[in-house]
Each structure stands twice: as structure tokens, then as C-alpha cells.
């Protein structure tokens, strides 16, 4: 398994799209923290800062690294077939499963490094806002990275399926971008509209009921968007009273326990996509 | 060494291989010829398990690696340790240097470190890339990439070398060096199976030729036998030069004058003895007489027709 890993790891770290996407993401962090600080960040509570960090990293890293993961997967196999490097590699005494396994492992490590980079910048931001660096924060940040990593792996695996279906890496890249646009921008807005419509049909709903309805709609209609499933989970790291005045922080383990269905969907679809992607690679003609 | 029986590969509704039979024996330099789309690359890719045929059998080193529509991957991986492959239209990883490329390829064969370093140096010398050992492959010309592709195919000192259109993109010096490397492989007792559309190269270095047309092998033999068989089927052309003009009309043969004392005789069989006697009976002498040998190109074109 290590043979494909070394090569893919080096290759992934050298792709321009990785550094361009990470660069844009990190650049966007700076104004966000600056604005929070200038509009009263000094009054931020510890719980509030932690809740903000978790949800901010979920949103930013989920979107940017999510696109990266999908693009990475969508060109993982077809571009190597086009260049002929896959024919060279697979003519050597290596099993196909070892090769794709090593490739997948390398992609996972690169995505984890990207997530950690995003998290470290996020932590630096909340510390700069005045929140203390506690062991609880570190634990939750690590758990968050694990959740996001599963989401990213799901997107890479979806990319592998695209990569085995579309021979041209250029077309696959285009397809992945369209898919990302639909998954991250169009569908969440469509579901947001449906939620809003349902809420307006029931004007007497409590804050808690509204929150639950929104979660139910996301679970039901955005089950195929892994970052949305992570968002549903991370929303429960804290609660804010109805006047939006006080934030109580419960932590990520509490949020995960409270949303087993979303965690199940996240893991289940990841395994299914990986299975399909790997199976297709094992049976595909490398020409 | 390599035996293919009744191999069938269909892409959607196009039959790329239509019951292909082929055998490469140990020590042969086997030239695999065919027009574009005849199935040359499909045959090679099938042999290495890179594409999946639907029917037939493939044996490598007497090990059955493909049968009943399935590859035995464990056996295939094992025999690949003894094979070197150079693909057509391929490049290597642009961000690596030749040394790094060969190092990574050598790792796939679990070659020990000390032996690996020695082998890499030898191969870079052999293919003339020693001076560029630390340059990125992305900056290489097509010819340099071809040289590196050959080096990676030789990293495991293979018993069977499979080359798919290996001389494409090489300059005349490169082609000459390449041919020399292939000859060296034969001297070392290795087997070389290579596809090409440049017939002159095949004619020059191969001892056995296979011609594939529309997924079927039309002929497989040594060059001499192929030429003899071609002459037997297509007829002989005899070129004769005599000391004085000869009247051929009583002979009944199909004779075309090429000059005052030079003639071309077309016959269904080798009639050189008869020509000799006839010329003598006319009181003339033969200065030169030869059977015009068909080139591989003529044979190839005839088969493709």
C-alpha cells in the first residue's frame, strides 16, 4: 500500500489547486476575525468563542476543502490514464487494490493536513479574540477535524466515482465543479427556502421547534452533502437562549451523541462511495 | 514465454481482438505489426492485465494468468516481477527526476537499496541520461522521456521486455542506440516483444514477426519463411541481365523488357533453372539473375488489404 502512497502524497502536495484553494481560504479568515474584533470581540465569552470556532471552521473548511477534495478525487484516476503513468505503475508487481488504497491514504493525509492548517489558523484567531486555549477546545477541535475528514473522504470517494466514469480529466473537473456548485450552493439554498416556507406555514413554532425543523430538512433533503451533515451535528455544540443573549457551550461529544442519524448518514455514504469507487477502479480498463 | 489463445476483447460494439492466437518463444525478438486500430496495444495491455478481455487464455512464463474471463491477480503480480513494459504515448511523473523515478519504480520490485543505486546508475548511462539525472522529467524532450521509459522498463532486469511503439519520438541516434539495446537484450538471452508501425525497424532487428489485422493474427513466423510464403502466394519476380538481347516470345513466359538486355519475368513459381536453360538455348549468357525479394512493407500492405 505504501508504494502508491508516497507517489500520490508528493504529487498531491505539488498540485496548484491545493495551494490556491488553501490560500483563498486562509485569506478569508483574516477579515472575518478582524471584523469580529472590531465589532466587540472583547466581550466574547469563552463558550461563544468556542461555538464560533467550531461552526466557522465547519463552514469555511467544509466549503473550500470540500471543493478541493471533490476535484482531487475527480481527476485522480483519469488524469493518470491520460498521461500513461497509471499504465507504467500498474505494469509493475502491484495489486490494483494496493495502488488505489495507497492513493486514497495519501489523499486522506493531504486533506487532514489542510484541515489542520485551517483549524490552527482558526484557533489562532479565537485566541487573538481573547478566548483561552483549553484542553476542551483542543479535544473538540480534534473531533471536528475527524468529522470533517470523514466528510472530505466522502467527497474524494465521490470524485473517484466520477474519475472512473469520465475518461477526460478536463470534463471530469468540469463535472466536479458543477456538482460542487449544486451541492454547496444551490441545494442548501433550495432546502433553506423549503424550510422557510414550512416555518411560515406554522407561525407559532417555538425556537426549539424551528431549530429542529431546520435540522430535519437538512437531514432529509441534504443527506448527500456531507458538510451539511457535519453542520447539523456542530450546530448542537452550543445553545443560545431565545433572546440570543447567552450561549451555553456543551462540546462536540454532546453534539455527536445528539445526532446519531447524521453521523450514520455521513459514515454510511462514505463507505458506500468508497466501495463503488474502488470497485470501479478494480474492474476498469486502463487505456 | 507468452502464449495467447482465442483472446476476445470488445469495446462496446467494436471487436478489438477477435480470437487472437499468438506465441512468443524464449529468446525471440518478436515484432508485432499491424495498422492503426488493429489491436496491437489492446493485446499488450491485456497481457499485462491492464484491460480485461472477455474470453480466451493468456499464459506468461507457463503460468496461466487469464482464463474464463478472469485474471488471477496473485499469479499476474508474481509474473510481472519478470516483465519490463514500456507503454506507448506515455510520460512519467513530471515532478520527479530520473533518479527519483527509477528509485520509486525499483521500490515496486523490492530491489535492495545498494543494488538499486547501482542499477539506476547503469541504466541512466545505458540510455544516455546520466547528465540529466537530477533534472525534472517535466523539462524533458519527447526523446528523453522515451529513454527514461525504456530505463524504467529495464529496472528489474526483465526476462521478457514488452515495448509498445518504443521508437516513436527518437532521433536517428536514439533509434540506433535503442536497436543496440534491444540486440544486447537478445544476446543476454532475454525475450523482446515489441509493436511498431515502422517496418524497417522490425525488419532490421526482429527474428520473428506477427501481423495483426482487425484483431486477428494474419501471420506469425520468422521473416524468411514469411517472405517465402508470400512469394509462393503472390508469385515470383525474376530480374535477368544477359550479354546479348534475347527473344523471349517462344518461352511463353510473362516477360517485360527493362532495357535492351535487361528483363523482368513474372512467374507463379521459382523458374530460375528454366530461365538459365532457355537463355543458353538462345545462344546467350546470363550476366546477373535474381529473385526480387518482397519488402516487409509489401507483405504488410498485401495482408492489410
Q: What is the CATH number of the domain that holds B88?
A: 3.40.50.300
- The pLDDT of residue A265 is 96
Same domain, B214 and B241: no
Residue A219 at interface with chain B, using a CB cutoff of 8 Å:
no
Inter-chain residue contact A91 with B85, CB threshold 8 Å? yes
- The pLDDT of residue B225 is 81
The complex's ipTM works out to 0.80
Burial-class residue A250 by CB neighbours within 10 Å (0-12, 13-18, 19+).
middle
Alpha carbons within 13 A on the beta-carbon side of B180: 9
Residue A96 at interface with chain B, using a CB cutoff of 8 Å:
yes
Q: What is the mean pLDDT of residues A255-282?
A: 96
Number of A to B CB contacts under 8 A, please give it: 74
CA–CA dist A6, B96 (Å, integer): 12
CA–CA dist A256, A236 (Å, integer): 8
Asked whether residue B228 is assigned to any structural domain, the reply reads: no
CA–CA dist B301, B101 (Å, integer): 40
- The pLDDT of residue A94 is 93
- The pLDDT of residue A40 is 65
DSSP, residue by residue, A8-33: HHHHHHT-HHHHHHHHHHHHHHHHHH
With cell 537499496, the residue in question is B113
CATH (domain of B246):
3.30.70.1560
Question: What Å distances lie between residue A66 and A18, A140, A180, B274, CA to CA?
Answer: 11, 20, 8, 85
With cell 546470363, the residue in question is B286
Name which of A247, A222, A224 is nearest A236 in CA terms.
A247
Q: Which of B52, B90, B104 sits opposite A87 (nearest CB)?
A: B90
- The pLDDT of residue A276 is 97
Inter-chain residue contact A83 with B104, CB threshold 8 Å? no
Alpha carbons within 13 A on the beta-carbon side of B8: 13
Asked whether residue B227 is assigned to any structural domain, the reply reads: no
Please identify among residues 174-203 of chain B the ones whose CB lies closer than 8 Å to any CB of chain A. none
CA–CA dist A258, A45 (Å, integer): 24
Residue A27, all three cell numbers: 485569506
Residue B10, all three cell numbers: 470488445
E strand spans, B245-294: 254-257, 262-267, 286-291
Closest residue on chain A to B154 (Cα): A92
Same domain, B57 and B195: yes
Same domain, B24 and B108: yes
Same domain, B217 and B241: no
* Residue B129: partners with Cβ closer than 8 Å, 6 or more residues away: B98, B144, B147, B148, B151
Interface test with B, best of A12, A93, A282 (most B CBs within 10 A): A93
> How many domains, in total, are found in chain B?
2
Distance between B96 CA and the closest CA of chain A, angstroms: 9
Same domain, B204 and B263: no
| Domain assignment of residue B242, given as a range | 235-304
Give the bridge partners for B195, in sequence order. B32, B164
Q: What is the mean pLDDT of residues A36-56?
A: 74
Distance between B131 CA and the closest CA of chain A, angstroms: 24
Are A53 and A123 contacting, i.e. CB atoms less than 8 angstroms apart? yes
Q: Which of B77, B83, B90 sits opposite A85 (nearest CB)?
A: B90
Residue B52 at interface with chain A, using a CB cutoff of 8 Å:
yes
Are B127 and B92 contacting, i.e. CB atoms less than 8 angstroms apart? no
- The pLDDT of residue A54 is 84
Residue B48 at interface with chain A, using a CB cutoff of 8 Å:
yes
Give the bridge partners for B208, in sequence order. B30, B222
Phi, psi of B143 (to 5 degrees): -65, -40
For all residues of chain A together, what is the average pLDDT? Answer: 88
Among B177, B192, B222, where does a domain finish?
Answer: B222
Inter-chain residue contact A287 with B104, CB threshold 8 Å? no
Name which of B70, B80, B94, B17 is nearest A82 in CA terms.
B94
Whether the per-residue pLDDT at A41 is higher than 60: the answer is: no
Which residues of B are less than 8 Å from A90 in CB distance?
48-50
The secondary structure of residue A185, as a DSSP letter, is I
Residue B92 at interface with chain A, using a CB cutoff of 8 Å:
yes
3-state secondary structure (DSSP) of residue A108: helix
Q: What is the mean pLDDT of residues A224-231?
A: 94
Same domain, B185 and B279: no
Which residues of B are less than 8 Å from A14 in CB distance?
95
- Give Cα B108 to chain centroid, integer Å: 28
Same domain, B114 and B248: no
Residue B224 at interface with chain A, using a CB cutoff of 8 Å:
no
For the segment A97-153, what is each residue's pLDDT rounded down to a tens digit?
999 999 999 999 999 998 888 888 888 888 888 778 788 888 888 888 899 999 999
Distance between B288 CA and the closest CA of chain A, angstroms: 53
- The pLDDT of residue A42 is 58
Residue A93 at interface with chain B, using a CB cutoff of 8 Å:
yes
3-state secondary structure (DSSP) of residue B293: coil
- Number of neighbouring beta carbons within 10 Å of residue B64: 12
Same domain, B17 and B106: yes
Mark the ranges of chain B whose per-residue pLDDT is less than 70: 296, 303-305
Which residues of A are less than 8 Å from B73 in CB distance?
95-96
- The pLDDT of residue A238 is 84
Asked whether residue B229 is assigned to any structural domain, the reply reads: no
Same domain, B112 and B200: yes
Distance between A87 CA and the closest CA of chain B, angstroms: 7
Inter-chain residue contact B91 with A93, CB threshold 8 Å? no
Amino acid at each position: 500500500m505504501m508504494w502508491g502512497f508516497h507517489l500520490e502524497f508528493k504529487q498531491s502536495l505539488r498540485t496548484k489547486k491545493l495551494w490556491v484553494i488553501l490560500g483563498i481560504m486562509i485569506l478569508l479568515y483574516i477579515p472575518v476575525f478582524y471584523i469580529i474584533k472590531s465589532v466587540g470581540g472583547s466581550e466574547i465569552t469563552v463558550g461563544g468563542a468556542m461555538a464560533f470556532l467550531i461552526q466557522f471552521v465547519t463552514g469555511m473548511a467544509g466549503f473550500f476543502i470540500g471543493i478541493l477534495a471533490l476535484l482531487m478525487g475527480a481527476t485522480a484516476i483519469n488524469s493518470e490514464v491520460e498521461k500513461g503513468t497509471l499504465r507504467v505503475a500498474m505494469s509493475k508487481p502491484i495489486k490494483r487494490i494496493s495502488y488505489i488504497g495507497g492513493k486514497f491514504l495519501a489523499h486522506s493525509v493531504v486533506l487532514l493536513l489542510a484541515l489542520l492548517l485551517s483549524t490552527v489558523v482558526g484557533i489562532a484567531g479565537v485566541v487573538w479574540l481573547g478566548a483561552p486555549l483549553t484542553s476542551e477546545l483542543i479535544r473538540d477541535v480534534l473531533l471536528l477535524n475527524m468529522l470533517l475528514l470523514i466528510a472530505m473522504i466522502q467527497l474524494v470517494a465521490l470524485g473517484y466515482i466520477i474519475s472512473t466514469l469520465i475518461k477526460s480529466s478536463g470534463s471530469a473537473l468540469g463535472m466536479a465543479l458543477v456538482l460542487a456548485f449544486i451541492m454547496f450552493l444551490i441545494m442548501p439554498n433550495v432546502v433553506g427556502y423549503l424550510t422557510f416556507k414550512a416555518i411560515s406555514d406554522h407561525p407559532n413554532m417555538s425556537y426549539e421547534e424551528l431549530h429542529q425543523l431546520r435540522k430535519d430538512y437538512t437531514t432529509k433533503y441534504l443527506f448527500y452533502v456531507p458538510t451539511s451533515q457535519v453542520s447539523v451535528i456542530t450546530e448542537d455544540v452550543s445553545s443560545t437562549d431565545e433572546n440570543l443573549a447567552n450561549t451555553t457551550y456543551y462540546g462536540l461529544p454532546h453534539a455527536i451523541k445528539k445526532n446519531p442519524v447524521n453521523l450514520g448518514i455521513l459514515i454510511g455514504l462514505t463507505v458506500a462511495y468508497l466501495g463503488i469507487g474502488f470497485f470501479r477502479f478494480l474492474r476498469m480498463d486502463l487505456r | 514465454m507468452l502464449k495467447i489463445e482465442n483472446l476476445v476483447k470488445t469495446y462496446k460494439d467494436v471487436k478489438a481482438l477477435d480470437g487472437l492466437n499468438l506465441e512468443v518463444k524464449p529468446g525471440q525478438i518478436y515484432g508485432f505489426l499491424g495498422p492503426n486500430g488493429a489491436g496491437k496495444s489492446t493485446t499488450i495491455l491485456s497481457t499485462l492485465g491492464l484491460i480485461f478481455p472477455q474470453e480466451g487464455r493468456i499464459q506468461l512464463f507457463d503460468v496461466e494468468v487469464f482464463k474464463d474471463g478472469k485474471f488471477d491477480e496473485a499469479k499476474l503480480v508474481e509474473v510481472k516481477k519478470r516483465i519490463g513494459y514500456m507503454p506507448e504515448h506515455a510520460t512519467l511523473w513530471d515532478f520527479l527526476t530520473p533518479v527519483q523515478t527509477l528509485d520509486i519504480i525499483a521500490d515496486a520490485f523490492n530491489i535492495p537499496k545498494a543494488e538499486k543505486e547501482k542499477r539506476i546508475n547503469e541504466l541512466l548511462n545505458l540510455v544516455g541520461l546520466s547528465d540529466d539525472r537530477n533534472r525534472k522529467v517535466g523539462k524533458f524532450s519527447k526523446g528523453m522521456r522515451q529513454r527514461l521509459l525504456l530505463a524504467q522498463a529495464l529496472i528489474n532486469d526483465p526476462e521478457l521486455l514488452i515495448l509498445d511503439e518504443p521508437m516513436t519520438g527518437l532521433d536517428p541516434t536514439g533509434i540506433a542506440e535503442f536497436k543496440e539495446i534491444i540486440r544486447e537484450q537478445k544476446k543476454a538471452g532475454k525475450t523482446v516483444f515489441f509493436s511498431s508501425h515502422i517496418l524497417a525497424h522490425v525488419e532490421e532487428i526482429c527474428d520473428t514477426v506477427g501481423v495483426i489485422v482487425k484483431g486477428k493474427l494474419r501471420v506469425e513466423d520468422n521473416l524468411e519463411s514469411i517472405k517465402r510464403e508470400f512469394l509462393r502466394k503472390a508469385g515470383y519476380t525474376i530480374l535477368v541481365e544477359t550479354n546479348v538481347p534475347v527473344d523471349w516470345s517462344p518461352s511463353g513466359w510473362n516477360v517485360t523488357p527493362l532495357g535492351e538486355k535487361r528483363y523482368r519475368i513474372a512467374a507463379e513459381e521459382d523458374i530460375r533453372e528454366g530461365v538459365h536453360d532457355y537463355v543458353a538455348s538462345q545462344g546467350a549468357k546470363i550476366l546477373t539473375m535474381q529473385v526480387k525479394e518482397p519488402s516487409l512493407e509489401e507483405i504488410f500492405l498485401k495482408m492489410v488489404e
